[in-house]
Amino acid sequence: MNKIEIFSAGCPFCEEAVEKIKKQACSDCEVTILNIFDEENLSYAKKMGVKRLPAMTTNQQLSPCCRCDDLELKL
């Protein structure tokens, strides 16, 4: 089973990404939405290297499309 985590701020762009990812996820995938306005989720997002939203991890690895090394998350 793959574990997919989506970091979201709840904005329209994030919500659109969430819906697209849910539609494309396999039947064996566990999809979790993590709102970064929750302190625990924000801390986890920083630990995972999230620097922009929406962002996604698969099996606790930040997806290559979500990496942006020249940005700093300022929340």
Query: Does residue 70 lie within any of the structural domains?
Result: no
Residue with tokens 């819906």: 19
Check residue 63 and give its pLDDT: 87
Q: Which domain holds residue 53?
A: 3-63
Check residue 66 and give its pLDDT: 73
Please give the tally of structural domains in the chain. 1
* Upper half-sphere CA count for residue 16 (Cβ side, 13 Å): 4
Q: Can you give the pLDDT of all 75 residues of the chain as single tens digits?
A: 899 999 999 999 999 999 999 999 999 999 999 999 999 999 999 999 998 899 999 999 998 777 665 555 555
Query: Does residue 41 lie within any of the structural domains?
Result: yes
- Residues 7/49, Cβ–Cβ less than 8 Å: no
Query: Does residue 69 lie within any of the structural domains?
Result: no
Query: Does residue 34 lie within any of the structural domains?
Result: yes
Check residue 17 and give its pLDDT: 94
pTM here is: 0.84
Which CATH number covers residue 34? 3.40.30.10
